[in-house]
Amino acid sequence: MRTATLDDYKQRLLRVLVHIQEHLDESLALEELAGLACFSPFHFHRIFKGMVGESVKEHVRRLRLERAASRLKLGAQPVVRIALDAGYESHEAFTRSFRSVFGVSPSGFRSSNRRPRVAAAPSGLHFTEGRRVGHFKTIQPQGKKMEVKIVQRAPLRVAFMRHVGPYSAVGKTWDRFLPVLGKEGLLGGDTQFIGICHDDPEVTPHGRVRYDACVSVDERFSPLGEIGLQVIAGGEYAMTTHFGPYNKLGRTYTRLLGQWLPRSGRQLRSCPCFEVYLNDPQGTDPKDLLTDIFAPLAARLSIPAR
């Protein structure tokens, strides 16, 4: 039986990390990077963050700043030019970022002979001019071991309303969605309340995050108005429970996909994760909220051992 090992995940991410180092002047779109590692764009960002310890965006920004630091020291280019090359449109924004990473302004950095502070890099990866990245440190899971169950789910019919906008505003969509279903008698005692995030709120611009507010329905339901019908695929899922406020869900996703998954011997299917809300956020203290997160697993490949 061939399983995806932690090393496989590292090799795939390394391809991305090498590409980033060699293409710092390009836009480095997330879809393209995900493709390089053969990860689905749904999941790539979480896996990256969980393994490398910083988001793709943070990683790219840091490397560009490290490159800028090296150019300040070794070259004679004007600071404004170096700022532009690092992706900053103003001198001020560049100075602010630079100072937050190196503790000194760009011009101060250039004129000083002291050894500069090294930027914090959880993965141990820094900008290296002309030298190819060979390895990186994966972030070790910290704290209590994450409890993850592998579960088999049947396909589930859900009524849904699409939300496009900031994740923090999905409540407004629920507020419109539930009364329409409720007055039709579609919210029974065993109804499941589910959220499907098609985009990652941490990487997609706020106004463009697509999220489906979903409620389980039986076979008699047919779409009405802006409420559609979809089927959440059945099959194997990795499931973990998030305890606490919804604005901390991202951390649990990152631990599940970026830390548990690479050590699980499993791979993901190319469909979105979803979350099942176990309680009513109205009248529940945010710290008592319970949310099950489901990540879709690909079938195990059975390849005879050589």
Partner 1 sequence: MTKNNQDKIDLYKQHKNEYAAAKKPVLIEIKPAVYLAIEGRGEPGGEQFKASIGALYGAAFTIKMTRKFAGQQDYAVCKLEAQWWSDSGPDLSKAPKDQWRWNLLIRTPGFVSEEELRKAAAVLLDRGKGKEVKEVRLESLAEGTCVQMLHVGPYDQECLTIAKMKEFVEKNQLEFHGRHHEIYLSDPRRVPPERLKTLLRCPVRPERGGSERRV
Q: Site residues (CB under 8 A) for partner 1?
A: 170-171, 174-175, 178-191, 193, 195, 213, 218, 220, 241, 243, 246, 277-283, 288, 290, 292
Minimal distance in Å, beta carbon 143 to partner 1? Answer: 17
Task: Quickly list DSSP for 117-163.
Answer: PPPP-TT-----TT------PPPPP-SSPP--EEEEE--EEEEEEEE
Q: How far from 180 is each of 219, 224, 278, 285, CA to CA, in Å?
A: 18, 9, 20, 25
Q: What is the CB neighbour count within 10 angstroms for residue 182?
A: 12
Which two structure tokens, joined as six digits, stand for 60? Answer: 């790219």
Give whichever of 150 and 243 is closer to partner 1, judged by the CB atom: 243
Minimal distance in Å, beta carbon 284 to partner 1? Answer: 8
The DSSP element (H or E) to which 233 belongs, if any, is none
Minimal distance in Å, beta carbon 218 to partner 1? Answer: 7
Q: Scan for tokens 């995806």, then name that residue.
A: 4
Give whichever of 130 and 189 is closer to partner 1, judged by the CB atom: 189
Minimal distance in Å, beta carbon 153 to partner 1? Answer: 16
Minimal distance in Å, beta carbon 271 to partner 1? Answer: 22
| Cα gap 14→36, rounded to integer Å | 10
- Measured CA angle at 261 (ends 13, 287), to 5 deg: 120
Give whichever of 9 and 253 is closer to partner 1, judged by the CB atom: 253
Give whichever of 134 and 223 is closer to partner 1, judged by the CB atom: 223
- Confirm if 274 and 212 have CB atoms less than 8 A apart: no
Phi then psi for residue 131, to 5 deg, are: -105, 135
Minimal distance in Å, beta carbon 189 to partner 1? Answer: 3
